Structure 1
């Protein structure tokens, strides 16, 4: 599926906005913070873990880096899907956040 440059950026912006709204729901409840400079979004945990989300315009992908691994998401059927693991991006972020905060708050 070919995505035009303008459409790609619109889709990424919409996805990042959805992730930020999800994070805002937990504002003050969890020790994490995020910042977005337009091309890179960083989610930082008090435990020094972080998630880095970048848009790869040339490849029309979103890349997600965690402390232990990198994931590449391509837009298919109205979703960002991981090439290897077949995770959907937003669900992947939610599960990763739960895993990291569960370790801290539910021991």
Structure 2
């Protein structure tokens, strides 16, 4: 995968995440470099960003850090192969105290 393809796939994933956050009425902000900061009512955050060198999407949540790599069809956690949107929904639901979905 070259840089152009990585950036296109990462942009698509971030747009899907943003749409889910808007549906769930959860505050978020895009900051410098395309970093997505999701803020919850309790003041906690989840940070989602692309890591171009590794060609991964990284997620930092209260419960830990996660790296997702494109497998040719979706972004999968490098540890347990969970899909990005599934894992992020679980992390966001945990921090929001309510169900959050990105599908």
TM-score, normalised to structure 1, is 0.83
User: Do the aligned partners of 2:61 and 2:91 also contact (CA within 8 Å) in 1?
Assistant: no
**Residue 93 of structure 1: CA displacement?**
1.1
Cross-structure match for 1:12: 10
Greater mean deviation of Cα atoms: 33-42 or 70-79: 33-42
**Superposed, which structure 2 residues align to 1:1-107 within 5 Å?**
3-27=1-25, 32-37=26-31, 38-102=33-97
Distance 1:71 1:81 in 2: 10
Structure 1 unaligned spans of 5+:
none
What are structure 2's unaligned runs of at least 5 residues?
99-103
Q: Figure out how many residues of one structure are paired with residues of the other and give that number.
A: 97
Which 4+ runs in 1 deviate beyond 3 A?
Answer: none
The structure having more radius of gyration, on CA atoms, is: 1
Q: What is the deviation of 1:102?
A: 2.6
Over the aligned positions, Cα root-mean-square deviation in angstroms equals: 1.4
Q: Provide the secondary structure at the position in 1 that maps to 2:42.
A: coil
TM (normalized to structure 2)? 0.86
* Larger relative contact order (Cα-Cα within 8 Å, sequence gap ≥ 6): 2
Deviation at 1:12, TM superposition (A): 0.5
